[in-house]
Amino acid sequence: MTAQIKALIVLVIFALGLVAGWMVNGWRGASKVAECKTEQAQGVASRAEAARADESNTAQLESKHAKDTIYNADKLASLKTGIAVDVRSELERAHRLQLSADSRAATYRAQAEADATARRNLADKASALDRQLVEGVGVVAELGGALKQRDAEVAALCDQVNTERRLNGDAGDQACRVEGEQ
């Protein structure tokens, strides 16, 4: 074999080695690219899964928030209704108490007027009794005076009768006893 053929064979083997190396290197590069793409796809997938989980969690939280908001609004509306009923009831009670108080006030005024009339009547009766007492005391005084005058006249007449009887000599038959005599 000639040196040219040998060189050509070596050159072909060398070219084949280069092509094989280039191909193997291409396969390794393709493998690395595939690994990067796989990693990137896995990253995208995990981020997508995290985003989906976050969206699902957010949706659940929003749903719970909406339910809680509706519950709170209903509860507040119920409380407002109950409060309004309580306020209305208390206002009606206050109105009834006011009517009752007005009625009692009218009763109190009527009682006070009746009491005042009764006191005036009592005062008039007491005044009349005082007048009658004064008149009675005056009558008693007059009658007492008349009685004393009569007693004095009777005593004087009795003395006069006794004097007349003594004059006639009949001293033992006295009409009355004179005070101081026994």
Q: What does the pLDDT look like over 74-89, one tens digit per residue? A: 888 888 888 889 999 9
Task: Output the average pLDDT for the chain.
Answer: 87
How does pLDDT run across 161-170, given as a tens digit for each residue?
A: 888 888 887 7
Name the pTM for this structure.
Answer: 0.37
Residue 10, pLDDT score: 83
Residue 182, pLDDT score: 44
Q: Which residues of the chain have pLDDT under 50?
A: 182
Residue 112, pLDDT score: 92
| Dist. CA 68–CA 27, nearest whole Å | 59
